[in-house]
Amino acid sequence: MQTSISSISETPLEHVDAEKQKSMKNVVAGSLFGTALETYDLYLYGTAAALIFAPLFFPGHDEAVSRLASLASFAISFIARPLGSLVLGHFGDRIGRKKLLYLTLIVMGLSTVGIGLLPTYASVGIWAPIMLCVLRFIQGFAFAGEYSGAVLMLLEHAPRRKRGLYAAINNIGPVFGFIASAGLLLIVSSVLSKEDFYSWGWRIPFVASLVLLIVGVFVRSKVPESPVFLETAAKRSATAAPSESPAIRLFKRYPKQLLLVAGANICHFSTFYLFTVFALSYGQRELGLSNAFVLSVAMVAVCTHLVVVPCAGALADRIGRRTTMLIGFAFTALVAFPFWYLFSMGQFLPMVLGSCLFMTGYGLVYGAVPSFTGEAFGPSARFTGFAMATNVGGIIGGGTAPILGAYLLNHYGSPYAISILTISLAVISATCVYLSAETRDIDIVND
Query: What span, in angstroms and rounded, lies between the C-alpha atoms of 397 and 270?
Result: 4
413-429 residue pLDDT tens: 889 999 999 999 999 99
304-348 residue pLDDT tens: 999 999 999 999 999 999 999 999 999 999 999 999 999 999 999
Query: What span, in angstroms and rounded, lies between the C-alpha atoms of 84 and 185?
Result: 29
Which is more confidently placed, 71 or 24? 24
- Are 384 and 247 within 8 A, CB to CB? yes
Looking at residue 414, what DSSP letter applies?
S
pLDDT band at 291 (very low <50, low <70, confident <90, very high): confident
Looking at residue 413, what DSSP letter applies?
S
Query: What span, in angstroms and rounded, lies between the C-alpha atoms of 431 and 72?
Result: 29
Position 271 scores a pLDDT of 94
How far is CA 136 from its chain centroid?
A: 15
Query: What span, in angstroms and rounded, lies between the C-alpha atoms of 246 and 130?
Result: 33
Nearest C-alpha neighbor of 402 from the set 40, 83, 67: 67
132-180 residue pLDDT tens: 999 999 988 988 888 888 899 999 988 889 999 999 999 998 888 888 8
37-95 residue pLDDT tens: 888 888 888 778 777 888 888 887 666 667 677 767 777 887 888 888 888 888 888 88
Q: Give CB contacts under 8 A, 24+ apart, made by 289-297.
A: 289/346, 291/51, 291/185, 291/186, 291/189, 292/186, 292/189, 292/190, 293/348, 294/51, 295/47, 295/182, 295/183, 295/185, 295/186, 296/186, 296/348, 297/348, 297/351, 297/352, 297/355
- Are 390 and 382 within 8 A, CB to CB? no
Nearest C-alpha neighbor of 270 from the set 397, 409, 418: 397
Query: What span, in angstroms and rounded, lies between the C-alpha atoms of 323 and 422?
Result: 20
Roughly how many angstroms between the first and final C-alpha of the chain, as a whole number?
48
- Are 283 and 444 within 8 A, CB to CB? no
The CA-atom distances, in angstroms, between 198 and each of 64, 127, 193, 296, 384 are 19, 19, 9, 20, 40
The amino acid at 334 = L
For residue 3, pLDDT over 70 is answered with no
pLDDT band at 277 (very low <50, low <70, confident <90, very high): confident
Worst-scoring range by mean pLDDT, 7-11, 181-185, 294-298, 396-400? Answer: 7-11
Query: What span, in angstroms and rounded, lies between the C-alpha atoms of 85 and 384?
Result: 6
Mean pLDDT of 263-288: 89
Q: Count other C-beta atoms under 10 Å from residue 328's C-beta.
A: 30
Position 17 scores a pLDDT of 57
Q: Count other C-beta atoms under 10 Å from residue 94's C-beta.
A: 18
State the greatest distance between any 2 C-alpha atoms of the chain, in Å, as a whole number.
89
220-269 residue pLDDT tens: 888 888 888 888 888 777 765 556 788 899 999 999 999 999 999 999 99
How far is CA 281 from its chain centroid?
A: 20
Nearest C-alpha neighbor of 45 from the set 134, 121, 123: 134
Looking at residue 6, what DSSP letter applies?
H
Looking at residue 161, what DSSP letter applies?
G
Query: What span, in angstroms and rounded, lies between the C-alpha atoms of 353 and 121?
Result: 38
Position 413 scores a pLDDT of 86
Nearest C-alpha neighbor of 23 from the set 226, 213, 216, 176: 226
Position 1 scores a pLDDT of 41
Burial 187-225 (b: 16+ CB within 10 A, else e): ebbeebeeeebeeebbbbbbebbeebbeebbebbeebbe
103-137 residue pLDDT tens: 888 998 899 999 999 999 889 988 998 999 999 99
**In the chain, what are the domains?**
22-222+246-434 (1.20.1250.20)
Position 315 scores a pLDDT of 97
334-391 residue pLDDT tens: 999 999 999 999 999 999 999 999 999 999 999 999 999 999 999 889 999 999 999 8
Query: What span, in angstroms and rounded, lies between the C-alpha atoms of 134 and 118?
Result: 11
- Are 185 and 333 within 8 A, CB to CB? no
Nearest C-alpha neighbor of 126 from the set 60, 51, 49, 75: 60
